[in-house]
Chain A
Amino acid sequence: MSNTASPRLDAEAITSKERGQWEMVGRRFFRHRAAVISLVVFILVVLFAYVGPFLWKWDYKIHSEIPSWAAPSLDHPFGTDKAGRDMLGAMMQATKQSLNVALVVAIGSTVLGALYGAVAGFYRGWIDSVMMRFLDIMFVIPFLVITGALAGAIDTSVRWYHMAFILAIFGWTSIARAVRAEVLSLREKEFIEAARSAGGSDWHIIVKHLIPNTMSVIIVSVTLQIAFAILSETTLSFLGLGIQSPDTSLGLLIEAAGASAFNEHWFLFYIPGLMIILIALTINFIGDGLRDAMDPRQTMVRR
């Protein structure tokens, strides 16, 4: 990483070497200190959730040899809960489930939203009008109500993939709007004309030309979707409308901790809460860094 974070003297204007667009973006991004730190922390969180369970001796299940309500110690760095569950193991599992939801939602809703926005912007006219009215309808429907109602409709207990599916179905509207706005201006550009006169089908133009050129918008929104999904999923789980046992999530862990913020079981409350903040915070900084890096109008790069 250190070799890409070039010294500040090496400013773009001076160098004569030609650089690709993505290389420039990368350079600008790595000059955004908060974003870089956040990226490192986020990667650590991901490793914690997905690799951690292979390294740590306890899983997230109840074991009779684990004492209940043990304070954090070397054996149980995050303590244990009432039923005899190692909280470090439980945290790994919960973080993993919450991240699963977040990543699936980010990818799912972005694909859905980008296609929808590109189609609406490409065809314009009545197709666009109808599609935009539908977006208005989705905008008006209260998000927590509709997702909660759908989660309640699942007749076994709600697992993370149910939640991811539901959040993705209702979380794509902002991306669709952003992509449509970009496409509206892009579709008048010469290269689209060229593709069209060369006989490219509509689908080909949308997927091969329009969407790749809105990538900067899309990438930023993917990161913001991750933060959005983490917060919505944990909120719904906290309200009892989201993921249910035997599955777990960070929201459920906080809900289970109840009012223990100031008593001897404080660790049950703070650790999952801080994990949510950590994920959402780092994601927001990464998104901020990416936006700065990809926005050509951005002249001043923050240190």
Chain B
Amino acid sequence: MKRHHKAAVAALACTALVLAGCGQGEDTSSSSLDACLTDPAGCNGGERADGGEITWALDGSWGTWNQNTSEGNNAYVSMALVGLWPFTGQFDPNGEYIVNEGIFARAPELVKEDPVTVEYTLKTGANWGDGTDITVDDFIYHWYATSGDASLCEGCDPANITRGSQVESITGDGSTVTVVYKETYHSAEWQYEEVLSEPAHVAEDQGFDWKNDPKEMAAAEDYFSETIPSWSTGPFKIADAKVGEHVIYVPNEDWAGETEVTLDKITFRVIDGLDNITTALRNGEIDGASPFSVNAETITQLQGTEGLEYQVAGGPSWEHIDLNTQNEFLSDPVLRQAVFTAIDVENIISRTYAYVQSDIERKGNHLFRNGSEYYTDYLSATGQGTGDIELAYDLLTEAGYEVEDGVLHTPDGEPVELDFRYSESKENRRITGELVQANLADLGINVELKSIPDADLGTVLGEGDFDMIDFGWSSDPVFVSIASQYWETGSGSNFGGLSDPALDALIAEVNGTLDLDEAAVRANAAVQQVVQDAYSLPIVDTPVAVMVSDRLVNVRDNWASQQRAAYNIAEWGVEGE
């Protein structure tokens, strides 16, 4: 059933995306992973040979093929399907957004602000890899699937309905698709919204009347969950796959993108455990991996092996210590302030994350990464995280706290005791706990370390069963809805139960503008307020590593993409002669 028409395969080997690393192959400064420090989006570039095969390891598995559903909300299925998924676009390692060249002719445009109306222009020839073009129906399908509205899709379980529930209508006219949002929609990140997922015509071919019957719609979603995609909107299509184990890609001849694909075959295979991945890489069974964790032992192993390159940098999540504002002691902002002041973050970093990433920096802003254009450090000035015991002590004595027999007592005369919780398998979080324990002992606060079984972190957070807790949040460049998720009164992920009306007001304003720069300014105001509340203390962006055979070209890590190193899979190649 596959139509082999010559889609616009342009002769251009490089797009704007890779100019830095491609087309200037002689520039040795960018031809290795070491260059990623100065040239994040162009490092490890070089001439690609025609042909070649790459085997890439994924460090976890998946149980569904449909990313719309809650089960499909899994970083590994999103990596496994990176070769074919209809993304709106990808953030590159510089945090810049690149629209999907295989689907859209240009970036989406905001044609009307009230209600928000966005116009998408499809590329001529953008198709599903089976001879059918992408149409407005596909946009509508995605909307229904993620609407959370039983009159559109009954029995669906979308992972997230923030955008889908806000769509008013979608209309199409040839290659132009217009999405009209409801009055309540004000996200400054309208241009990043995902608008496509599964092919509507495949659902129809399977006999699902998804447009008119919400139950059929849910059935179509189930069908896609269980079926290996035979379609592709990306540079590759699946030749063979087994759920949770492997995906083998061959080039998709019908792809409408311009980047030249050189590889003959890419195999994604699941290898559980960092040790196993490193061993397989050293043994030549795989060509690379960008696992979600890295430890010092791995680095030693990689250093001792010829023919391998690796690079460690801040990854897609960040570590932080949260305080439970519902706790009898920590409900007092002064104590929270003092606790954060007494914690020596630099010392924590030097004894944990610095072992794997020598140039690691303390994180200074909850929403924006160090080095981002919107980044401002609001933390250092407050003294939080400095480990300044005297400052912390002064704060406390001013508020009426007293130290008796080396134990801190509240103004009411109660001794202060706290627990510190962390996931048991995370060594760095345990060491962080031990160091916090030592810091707070200097203040006269007795801290009990209580670890959490890995599977129970969600339960512990949800029940607020902690005084202090160290865990990670994901840190992609999208920020608009994050502040309300983390800190708004009553939010399901405001685990420490913070309730600050001033902060709530600031958060509401972040959502009230369509201008990204303005939204960032407002988001930073919220960060400033949360710092004053002494609620959450960022530590670092968790280091992760990309490790590759040195014959690979254009393979580099990307913290800003959920697909990590596979974000630019079309450009992947093996070294030319």
Decide yes or no whether A154 CB sits under 8 A from chain B.
Answer: yes
CA distance A257 to B300 in the complex (A): 12
Is the pair A245, B430 in contact by a Cβ cutoff of 8 Å?
A: yes
B453 near A157 with CB under 8 A, answer: yes
Residues of B within 8 Å of A258, CB to CB, are 275, 297, 301
Cα A263 to Cα B302 in complex, Å, equals 11
A246 CA / B431 CA spacing, docked (Å): 10
When distances are taken between beta carbons in the complex, the residues of chain B under 8 Å from A47 are none
Return the contact of A259 from the options B278, B424, B434, B450 (Cβ within 8 A).
Answer: B278
In the complex, how many angstroms separate the beta carbon of B108 from the nearest chain A beta carbon?
45
Kindly state whether residue B173 has any CB partner on chain A within 8 Å.
no
Q: Is A72 part of the contact surface with B, judged by Cβ < 8 Å?
A: no
CA distance A155 to B434 in the complex (A): 20
B297 touches A260 (CB 8 A): yes
Q: Which residue of A lies closest to B350 (CB)?
A: A64
Looking at the assembled complex, report how far the CB atom of B360 sits from the nearest CB atom of chain A, in whole angstroms.
Answer: 16
Q: How far is the CA of A62 from the CA of B453 in the complex (A)?
A: 22
Report the minimal beta-carbon distance from B233 to chain A, rounded to whole angstroms. Answer: 39
> Could you mark each residue 351-367 of chain B with 1 if its beta carbon is under 8 Å from any beta carbon of chain A, else 0?
10001000000000000
Residues of B within 8 A of A69 (CB): 300
CA of A257 to CA of B296, assembled, Å: 11
The A-B contact count (CB < 8 A) is 62
Minimal beta-carbon separation of B174 from chain A (angstroms): 56
In the complex, per-residue mask of A243-275: 1 if CB is within 8 Å of any chain B CB, else 0: 011100000000011111001110000000000
Residue from B275, B301, B449 in contact with A246 in the complex, judged by beta carbons closer than 8 Å: B449
**Among B275, B300, B301, B351, residue most surrounded by chain A Cβ atoms (within 10 Å):** B300
Asked if B451 and A244 sit within 8 Å, CB to CB, the answer is yes
Taken together as a complex, chains A and B put the C-alpha atoms of A223 and B304 apart, in Å, by 43
Q: Taking the complex as formed, is B452 at the interface, i.e. its CB lies under 8 A from any CB of chain A?
A: yes
Could you tell me the dominant secondary structure of chain A's interface residues?
loop
- Per-residue CB contact flags for chain B residues 442-473 toward chain A (1 = under 8 Å, else 0) read 00000001111101100100000000000000
Report yes or no: A82 in contact with B297, Cβ–Cβ below 8 A: yes
- CB within 8 Å of A: which B405-434 residues: 424-425, 427, 430-431, 434
A116–B449 Cα gap in the complex (Å)?
40
For A43, the chain B residues whose CB sits under 8 A away are: none
Q: Are the CB atoms of A245 and B450 closer together than 8 Å?
A: no
Candidates B278, B451, B455; contact of A245 at CB < 8 Å: B451
Report whether over half of chain B's contact residues are helix, strand or loop; otherwise say mixed: helix
Which residues of B have CB within 8 Å of A240?
425
Minimal beta-carbon separation of A87 from chain B (angstroms): 14
CB pair A157 B296 closer than 8 Å: no
Residues of A within 8 A of B431 (CB): 62, 83
In the bound complex, do residue A245 and residue B427 qualify as a contact, i.e. CB atoms below 8 Å apart?
yes
Residues of A within 8 A of B455 (CB): 152
A255 → chain B closest CB, angstroms: 9
Interface set, chain B 254-311, CB cutoff 8 A to A: 275, 278-279, 296-297, 300-301, 304
- Is the Cβ of A259 less than 8 Å from the Cβ of B275? yes
Contacts of A259 in B (CB 8 A): 275, 278-279, 297, 301
Q: Does A156 contact B (CB under 8 A)?
A: yes
Q: Known contacts A82-B355, A258-B275; decide if A245 and B424 are in contact (CB<8 Å).
A: yes
Q: Give the docked Cα–Cα distance between A90 and B201 (Å).
A: 62
Among A158, A245, A263, A264, chain B packs the most CB atoms within 10 A around the CB of: A245
Name the CB-closest residue of B to A154.
B453
Contacting residue for A157 out of B278, B300, B452, CB 8 A: B452
Expressed in whole angstroms, the minimum distance between the Cβ of B54 and any Cβ of chain A is 23
Q: Closest approach, in angstroms, between the C-beta of A63 and any C-beta of chain B? A: 11
Least distance between B301 CB and chain A CB atoms (Å): 6
Task: Please give 7 more A-B residue pairs, beta carbons under 8 A apart, in addition to A62-B434, A156-B453.
Answer: A155-B456, A155-B459, A158-B453, A246-B449, A258-B275, A259-B278, A265-B300
A residues neighboring B (CB under 8 Å): 62, 64, 68-69, 82-83, 152, 154-158, 240, 244-246, 256-260, 263-265
